[in-house]
Amino acid sequence: MSLIFILLTYLWTEYSNAIDSDFFRMYHQAAETGQSIAFEDNYASQGKWFEVTV
């Protein structure tokens, strides 16, 4: 089992309400392609915007 798989599994267990979000899609796209991705997204349940690079 890869470290990325373990980290993503833990992340989505803790933040399961984010599974249907750009966060989920972008993290998985980066993991699948091995390419860095930068994006901004609003995490509505926290009421905050995040700038993310994965």
Task: Give the integer Cα–Cα distance in Å for 51 and 32.
Answer: 21
CA dihedral 37, 41, 44, 49 (to 10 degrees): 110
What is the pTM (predicted TM-score) of this model? 0.70
Largest CA distance in the chain: 34
The predicted-structure confidence for 20-53, as pLDDT tens digits, reads as follows 888 889 988 998 899 999 999 988 878 899 999 9
Domain boundaries, the chain: 3-53
